[in-house]
């Protein structure tokens, strides 16, 4: 990444208890005119991010921030400048939001179901912020097919144990090995995950392509081979269908590739040594921090972590954790 000076942009997401969020439609004479945007602006010299948030929201929409939590800090490069987008979810404020700088305000629900609509209406730089707001902090990866088990019986085993997973989380359906289920098996499993209130993400083994005819609710996971060969046109088509796109990353190169393609969520591993890869030393929190700080999208720590590590992950710039053993 270039050594251009970084500009911090502080953004406030005004969220009501109903789940509705206030945002602005950029005025005609402004940068990104006509697009939906979170309220905020540049952090001034000597200001902390929270001080900048309070000032920007008072100036732009006339509210006084009472309670806000920082939920993400993501990078975005333009040809002439490098931005760090610092997002705060504001859940308590004084005053009625109103456009004070010529912008029109809108109040809309922002959740998993409306995620794709928000992303389509916003500048590309905001994709990571929307995902960081609505995607859960945990991701479950399925245990692999075991000796003597068919892909059909593996799928049945997974389907009957979904109840033990936290509600709402993505479930990375990874059979492992070299055998991939037939499309019908994939769709039955995808349907079971969706019906349980979790988010199915299909992850065929190795070089295998995604099955055809997948239900529209199925997300897609790009392992290393698929991440390497995916095209921007494919990603755009998958995302136009509303699919959640995730990928496995392990270093600066693979993380940059996921950023380049504009994916929604990545795992970064291994953070620590794991039982599945004994003797493979993890990168540790310092390296995880350095890599996640460069990302445009939410990063999940993977490898020897569990939900108990969520505070540590957040301290090092991550979104959450991904695991097999913590959930099965």
Q: How many structural domains comprise the chain?
A: 2
Which region, left, alpha or beta, applies to residue 187 given φ > 0 means left and ψ of -120 to 50 means alpha?
alpha
Is residue 182 located within the same domain as residue 319?
Answer: yes
Is residue 188 located within the same domain as residue 264?
Answer: yes
Is residue 303 located within the same domain as residue 173?
Answer: yes
**Which residue's structure tokens are 């996640």?**
292
Alpha-helical runs (H) found in the chain = 49-61, 115-121, 127-134, 151-160, 183-195, 224-229, 232-240, 252-261, 284-292, 310-315
User: What is the CATH number for 287?
Assistant: 3.20.20.70
Is residue 172 located within the same domain as residue 293?
Answer: yes
Identify the pLDDT of residue 2. Answer: 45
Last residue of a domain, one of 119, 147, 162: 119
How crowded is residue 123: how many other Cβ atoms within 10 Å of its Cβ? 14
Is residue 147 located within the same domain as residue 115?
Answer: no
Whether 130 is in a domain gets the answer no
Is residue 91 located within the same domain as residue 157?
Answer: no
Tell how many helices (H) and how many strands (E) occur in the chain.
Answer: 10, 15
Residue environment code for 39-50, b if the CB has 16+ CB neighbours within 10 A, otherwise e: bbbebeeebebe
Instruction: Give the pLDDT confidence of 82-127 residue by residue, as tens digits.
Output: 899 999 999 999 999 999 988 899 999 999 999 999 999 998 889 9
Is residue 59 located within the same domain as residue 183?
Answer: no
Domain with 290, as residue range(s), is 138-323
Identify the pLDDT of residue 276. Answer: 62
Q: Is 13 in contact with 90 (CB distance < 8 Å)? A: yes
Average pLDDT of the chain is 93
**Sign of the dihedral defined by the CA atoms of residues 187, 146, 176, 134, in that order:** positive
Identify the pLDDT of residue 12. Answer: 97
Q: Is 38 in contact with 126 (CB distance < 8 Å)? A: yes
User: Which helix or strand (DSSP H or E) is residue 25 part of?
Assistant: strand 20-25
For the residues 199-216, what does the mean pLDDT come to?
A: 93
Is residue 285 located within the same domain as residue 169?
Answer: yes
Is residue 172 located within the same domain as residue 245?
Answer: yes
Q: Say if residue 302's pLDDT is above 50.
A: yes
Nearest in space to 288 (alpha carbons), one of 318, 243, 324: 318
User: What is the CATH number for 32?
Assistant: 3.90.79.10
Instruction: Give the pLDDT confidence of 75-89 residue by residue, as tens digits.
Output: 998 877 889 999 999
Is residue 185 located within the same domain as residue 317?
Answer: yes
Is residue 45 located within the same domain as residue 180?
Answer: no
Pairing mode, strands 36-37 and 20-25:
antiparallel
Identify the pLDDT of residue 30. Answer: 66
Is residue 99 located within the same domain as residue 219?
Answer: no
Q: Please tell me the pTM assigned to this model.
A: 0.92
């Amino acid at each position: 990444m270039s050594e251009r000076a970084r500009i911090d942009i502080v953004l406030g997401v005004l969220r009501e208890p109903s789940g509705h969020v206030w945002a602005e439609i950029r005025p005609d004479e402004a940068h990104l005119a006509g697009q939906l945007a979170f309220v905020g602006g540049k952090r001034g010299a000597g200001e902390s991010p929270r001080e900048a948030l309070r000032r920007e929201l008072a100036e732009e929409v006339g509210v006084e921030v009472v309670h806000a939590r920082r939920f993400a800090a993501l990078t975005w490069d333009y040809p002439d400048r490098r931005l760090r987008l610092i997002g705060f979810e504001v859940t308590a404020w004084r005053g009625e939001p109103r456009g004070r700088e010529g912008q029109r305000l809108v109040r809309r629900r922002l959740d998993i179901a409306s995620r794709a609509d928000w992303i389509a209406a916003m500048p590309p730089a905001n994709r990571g912020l929307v995902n960081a707001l609505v995607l859960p902090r945990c991701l479950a990866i399925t245990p692999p097919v075991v000796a003597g088990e068919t892909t059909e019986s593996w799928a049945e085993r997974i389907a009957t144990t979904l109840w033990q997973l936290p509600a709402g989380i993505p479930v990375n359906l990874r059979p492992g090995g070299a055998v991939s289920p037939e499309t019908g098996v994939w769709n039955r499993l995808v349907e079971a995950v969706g019906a349980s209130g979790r988010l199915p993400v299909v992850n065929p083994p190795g070089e295998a392509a995604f099955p055809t005819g997948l239900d529209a609710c199925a997300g897609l996971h790009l392992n290393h081979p698929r991440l390497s060969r995916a095209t921007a046109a494919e990603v755009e088509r998958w995302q136009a269908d509303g699919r959640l796109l995730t990928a496995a990353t392990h270093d600066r190169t693979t993380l940059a590739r996921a950023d380049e393609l504009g994916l929604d969520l990545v795992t970064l591993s291994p953070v620590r040594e794991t039982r599945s890869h004994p003797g493979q030393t993890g990168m540790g929190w310092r390296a995880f921090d350095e890599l996640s700080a460069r990302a445009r999208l939410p990063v999940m720590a993977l490898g020897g972590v569990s939900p108990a590590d969520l505070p540590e992950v957040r301290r090092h710039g991550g979104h959450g954790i991904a695991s097999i053993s913590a959930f099965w």
